[in-house]
Amino acid sequence: MTEQEIADAAISADGNLLAVWERWWTALDGTPGEIVWDADAADLAADLQRFAASFDKRLPVVDFGCGNGRQTRFLGRHFTTVLGVDISPAAIDSARAAENPPHVSYRVLDARDPDAAAELHREFGDVNVYVRGVLQALPSAARPRAVRSIARLLGATGTLFAKELPPEAGSCLATVVQRHGLSPGIARVMRLIPPDRYRWRISRVCSPLIAST
């Protein structure tokens, strides 16, 4: 089951994207590896090499879908104004509770709300936007609105760096699950979705493994 399928199943089961992510972030207990999409320092450094020269250093950087701010704080070591935004107040609380330099801050922002993004643009002006693994986690129908939000933030002079899984990643991930089972982090994500709502989508790959976790 891909992250996209998780997102679509979760929203169809709950009907509220905010509630899904609030459950996720409030349930974390600090177990190593529980945030399965956290990037290690070497991976973030590789990202930086790809976009650093393209980002206008005079513009703020927005970490779009910042979660607990791990990547936001990394960006803060390289840019003078960095803002992390996320739909989840619990995620933003976690990010603010970490050790952040003065030029790194956080706001609650629903990626699907272009008007809210436009309001942020009125405050900050054009910004560079860093997106990593966010669009793929949105329900398919919500992606166009998220793209419009990003466009509002970029304005005329901002630059976008986006790193998302390609569609074919789903079959690769399914093979990994079949061979090695669910990691504890993925099992935690799956428990956000009531079993009677997701089994029809994942019975071929994940259901027997979910039942044993």
pLDDT single digits (tens) 115-169:
999 999 999 999 999 999 888 888 888 899 999 999 999 999 999 999 987 766 6
Q: Is 133 within a domain?
A: yes
Torsion of Cα atoms, 22 then 132 then 151 then 7, to 10° = -40
Q: Is 29 within a domain?
A: yes
Predicted pLDDT of residue 208: 37
Q: Both 65 and 100 in a single domain?
A: yes
Q: Is 170 within a domain?
A: no
Q: Is 69 within a domain?
A: yes
Q: Both 49 and 146 in a single domain?
A: yes
pLDDT profile of the chain (213 residues), mean per 10: 49 62 80 72 93 96 95 96 96 95 96 97 98 86 94 98 77 69 61 43 37 37
Query: What are the CA-CA distances from residue 126 to residues 31, 80, 97, 165 (Å)?
Result: 38, 14, 27, 27
Q: Both 7 and 56 in a single domain?
A: no
Q: Is 27 within a domain?
A: yes
Do residues 2 and 177 lie in contact, with contact meaning Cβ atoms separated by under 8 Å? no
| Helices 3-14 and 195-202, packing angle to 10 deg | 150
Q: Both 97 and 192 in a single domain?
A: no
Q: Both 142 and 53 in a single domain?
A: yes
Q: Residue 51 sits in which domain range? A: 41-163
Predicted pLDDT of residue 34: 67
Q: Both 154 and 112 in a single domain?
A: yes
Predicted pLDDT of residue 83: 98
